[in-house]
Structure 1
Amino acid sequence: MKKPSELRVPTPLAVIAFFFALTLSITPAHAQAHAEVKPGDVITPKNAAQVRTLVSPGTYVAVAAGMQMNIVAPSHVDWPPPYQDATEKYSGQVRLAANHRDLLGYVAGQPFPLLDQNDPDVATKIMWNQYFRPIATDDFDLRYFECQVAKENPGAQQQLMLMTETGHLAGYSDIGRTEVEPMPADPDFKSSGVWIRVGAYPTLAPAEDRGSGAIRYRYWDGNKADDAWAFLAGSRRVRRVNEVMMSSSPGLSTWDADHAGGFGAKPQEYNFKFLGDRSMLACAHAINSPAHPCPTDGGATSCPDDWEMRHLYVVEVTPRPERIQGVLQSKTVVYVDGEGWFNPYVDSYDQKGELWKTQIYLFTYRDRPVPDARVAVYPFKRLFNIAASSVDVQSGISTTCYLPGPDTPERECWYINMGAVDKSFFTTEALSKAGH
């Protein structure tokens, strides 16, 4: 099986979005030249029209408000070798169930590395590829990350509305493991049915929320909803959280759990529609790590940084009313890099069908998250998300998270597939203990 960077598309037609590679082929974005931008260009609000068709509608709003882009030549992003090996070993046995939604025969790696754009299930297969992306297959521990809430203000200095800091954002996968024992699945998976566990706690700032946090379980059974629990500093109690609340933004923050890393809600509860593939701009080789607030938009996003032309897939996601109700987004449009399988941006629309929020992700590709790392150093290059902005385009309020944070004591921040967390972290007992 060829690596993604070696695949070639015989025709320039559509196929879509969120972590996948085309049937027999992908035309790398850098092979599809666009006259609108070229390496060396600097995109500011004055010439933002040059990128109107090269980014998502929400991202264009951010650029017009002051998020500067430095255009550079594109470079390759390869999969981690263990993930590539697992894809070659196991993908041939993967298929969709008779209901065209559930995944059968999956072990590890990318489920559907070869996709046919004429396949009526291509969008669903793309979404399954997105859920098993090559970025963090086994576990991750993101330490001491900082998020800043500010309002878009072109040309002005940042005026912070809120700053939050969290001790850990961590995840542990029971299946699809490629680098850390137990591989390729945790023995607990057969009895628990848990696909992945995620936890974010304890909150370190602001002071009134200190100790708060949450954990979430996702089950392999498509008919079993996610379980989530939150520990709130005010009540000092652990409470169960309704699954629908995962699409809601808490307080001033513009993030919600289902869109914190792209689109991350339970896949069987949504419909997927293939919209096409395009050459568009993305930040895949960020030069600023740690990232910093953008000086030209009031600190609403992180900039300036390097953006390059890449080959993206686009998919529309809508809730299935028979499975889930009360979701605030009428639809989400997801953009996926066809080589690195990351999301450069994701746009959400409100119940009126109007653009509501955009999430913008800056990635870097290296063997360590920060140049001076001493522990989080890897035997191969991998992708690290170094900044993520969630912009409410209707209000202009944005929450940008810095990974690592500019003022946090932990500078290495990202520990991916290093066994940094185990299942004991993802329990209500551990959540409560940390909060007290």
Structure 2
Amino acid sequence: MINKILHRATQFVVTVTAFALAFMLGVSTASAQVKPGDFIAPSNAAQVKELVSPGVYYKVQHGMTMKIIATQRVDWPPPYMDATEKYSSQVRLSNDHRSLTGFVAGQPFPLIDPNDPQVAEKIIWNNVFRPITSDDYDLRFYDCESAYEQSGPQTRQIENFEIGHYAGYDLVGRTEVEPIPTDPDFKVTGRFWLFALYPILSPQEIRGTGFIRFRYSDPNRGDDVWDWAKNTRRVRRLNEAQMSSATTTNGSSATTWDPDHYAGFNPKTEQYDYKYLGEKNMLAVAHADHSPEIRCETDGGTSACPEAWESRHMYVVQATPRAGKINAIDSKTVVYVDGEMWFEPYIDTYDRSGQLFRNHIYWLTNRDRPVADAKVAIYPFKRSFVVGACSTDLQSGLASMCYLPGRDTPERECWYINMGAVDKSFFTTEAMVKAAH
């Protein structure tokens, strides 16, 4: 029995090492079109056209700049790696290929075969249980600005948002904070995770607004969502289809963010069909220089730039809403998933006529603390943090850029990941209403 376990662990390490070598060779090939030290601006945007998504290319054409750096490795948190080695061999897709069986913790499918008929579904499930967070997180006091894109330092800022908490709690797949690996509440409620965003602190007209969302393991059960709005001063239940709308949960039309894309591609997994479009070496931000991020002065403040972009190995998957399952506003979403971080550095969505609609970009860094002067949020190993995120309506030019941590907020450290910073009591309507007052 011991020999079998050792053999399995050895196979895992050998395969991961082989992937890393192939990854680095592939990066070298992709980097031939750009090289470390290059500076990309609208004038030479064509150099990166084939190395980014159509939505990101649009952003460069409209003023976002890039500093090209050498590719750096991103390692998983050791507890997540240990859980992957321990449990991944028992994970399977269900008979209908929609959901998982045998999942406990870590990455469900560490060995990705592009010839596997279910490769798209496996990539998406790897993204669901990704290493960036596995237990809990609390993002405190961050801010977002909405503005219309334009060249030059001038801005057409139309709204500024400040949010108190953006938090989550996972009931399964836990690797660092007790209870590990599963919260006993999971057997009672069937909830995969809990999410909360509250209270919105500004603008004043929606101060106190927030919402709570529960995701369930039952593939046929949709999300439970509640919000509290200042104008009605009551808790109301929302239809989960509204989670793809940018105006539902904040009472404002001055933002392009919708809950299904707050942290990458995040609607209920089983409500979509997936198509594998291939793998490619593309540019992304995995080791951002700045935290807090800097406001881009060459596109009217609708992105973070200049920032460090490097060649990354990406899996590309198309997600299409399943007929009769959800009435999403997007006809399809193209998800670009980093093969080491297992987080999507960017996503493009298309409207119901098939036209490019919205682009979402996430700027990440990899270090042992979210900001250099952290006193509490310090980790024994490096982990990835999202330090900036932007959602752009490519048809109107309206963009919402978020700074994580905020540039002018009372909480400097911002990200508390897998530290027990929040428990299940935070994710209740009672707690949300209390915070609103």
Secondary structure of the equivalent of 2:51? coil
Shift of 1:293: 1.2
Secondary structure of the equivalent of 2:194? strand
The alpha-carbon distance between structure 1 residues 281 and 4, as it changes in their structure 2 partners (threshold 3 A), is farther
Q: Does 1:256 align with 2:267?
A: no
Secondary structure of the equivalent of 2:430? helix
What is the match of residue 184 of structure 1?
181
Partner amino acid for 1:276?
Answer: G
What is the match of residue 394 of structure 2?
393
Secondary structure of the equivalent of 1:90? helix
What is the match of residue 296 of structure 1?
298
TM-score normalized with structure 2 length: 0.94
What is the match of residue 164 of structure 1?
161
Cα separation, 1, equivalents of 2:246 and 2:372: 33
Secondary structure of the equivalent of 1:67? coil
Q: Does 1:225 align with 2:226?
A: no
What is the match of residue 339 of structure 2?
338
Number of matched pairs:
421
Cα separation, 2, equivalents of 1:130 and 1:411: 28
Alignment check: 8 A CA contact 1:282 1:310 kept: yes
The alpha-carbon distance between structure 1 residues 354 and 267, as it changes in their structure 2 partners (threshold 3 A), is same
Partner amino acid for 2:130?
Answer: R
The alpha-carbon distance between structure 1 residues 125 and 369, as it changes in their structure 2 partners (threshold 3 A), is same
Alignment check: 8 A CA contact 1:5 1:28 kept: no
What is the match of residue 6 of structure 2?
none
Secondary structure of the equivalent of 1:99? coil
Cα separation, 2, equivalents of 1:158 and 1:3: 52
Shift of 1:433: 1.1
Shift of 1:324: 1.5
Cα separation, 2, equivalents of 1:295 and 1:407: 18
Cα separation, 2, equivalents of 1:218 and 1:401: 24
CA deviation string 1:354-402 (max 9, x = no partner): 0000001110110000010010000000000000000111111100110
The alpha-carbon distance between structure 1 residues 88 and 63, as it changes in their structure 2 partners (threshold 3 A), is same
Partner amino acid for 2:402?
Answer: C
Secondary structure of the equivalent of 1:309? strand
Cα separation, 2, equivalents of 1:262 and 1:40: 28
Q: Does 1:351 align with 2:352?
A: yes
Alignment check: 8 A CA contact 1:4 1:78 kept: no
CA deviation string 1:86-144 (max 9, x = no partner): 00000010001111111000000000101222221111111111100000000000000
Cα separation, 1, equivalents of 2:135 and 2:28: 33
Cα separation, 2, equivalents of 1:310 and 1:107: 28
Partner amino acid for 2:160?
Answer: M
Shift of 1:28: 5.9
Cα separation, 2, equivalents of 1:93 and 1:309: 33
Cα separation, 2, equivalents of 1:408 and 1:28: 42
Alignment check: 8 A CA contact 1:5 1:76 kept: no
1:85-124 aligned within 5 A: 85-124=82-121
CA deviation string 1:11-41 (max 9, x = no partner): xxxxxxxxxxxxxx75565333433210000
Cα separation, 1, equivalents of 2:29 and 2:380: 32
What is the match of residue 16 of structure 1?
none
What is the match of residue 363 of structure 1?
364
Alignment check: 8 A CA contact 2:30 2:282 kept: no
Cα separation, 2, equivalents of 1:26 and 1:174: 33
Alignment check: 8 A CA contact 1:5 1:339 kept: no
Shift of 1:198: 0.2
Cα separation, 2, equivalents of 1:389 and 1:113: 29
Q: Which runs of 5+ in 1 are unaligned?
A: 11-24
**Aligned with residue 307 of structure 2, among 305, 308, 331:** 305
**Aligned with residue 71 of structure 1, among 43, 68, 72:** 68
Cα separation, 2, equivalents of 1:271 and 1:364: 31
What is the match of residue 82 of structure 1?
79
Shift of 1:259: 1.2
Which structure shows the bigger proportion of residues in helix conformation? 2
The 4+ residue runs of structure 1 with deviation greater than 4 A are 25-29
The alpha-carbon distance between structure 1 residues 281 and 29, as it changes in their structure 2 partners (threshold 3 A), is farther
What is the match of residue 131 of structure 2?
134
Alignment check: 8 A CA contact 2:313 2:338 kept: yes
Cα separation, 2, equivalents of 1:322 and 1:240: 21
CA deviation string 1:209-229 (max 9, x = no partner): 111100000000001010000
What is the match of residue 19 of structure 1?
none
Cα separation, 2, equivalents of 1:97 and 1:174: 20
TM-score normalized with structure 1 length: 0.94
Alignment check: 8 A CA contact 1:333 1:346 kept: yes
**Aligned with residue 8 of structure 1, among 19, 31, 53:** 19
Q: Please, what is the CA RMSD of the aligned residues? A: 1.3
Q: Which runs of 5+ in 2 are unaligned?
A: 1-11, 248-252
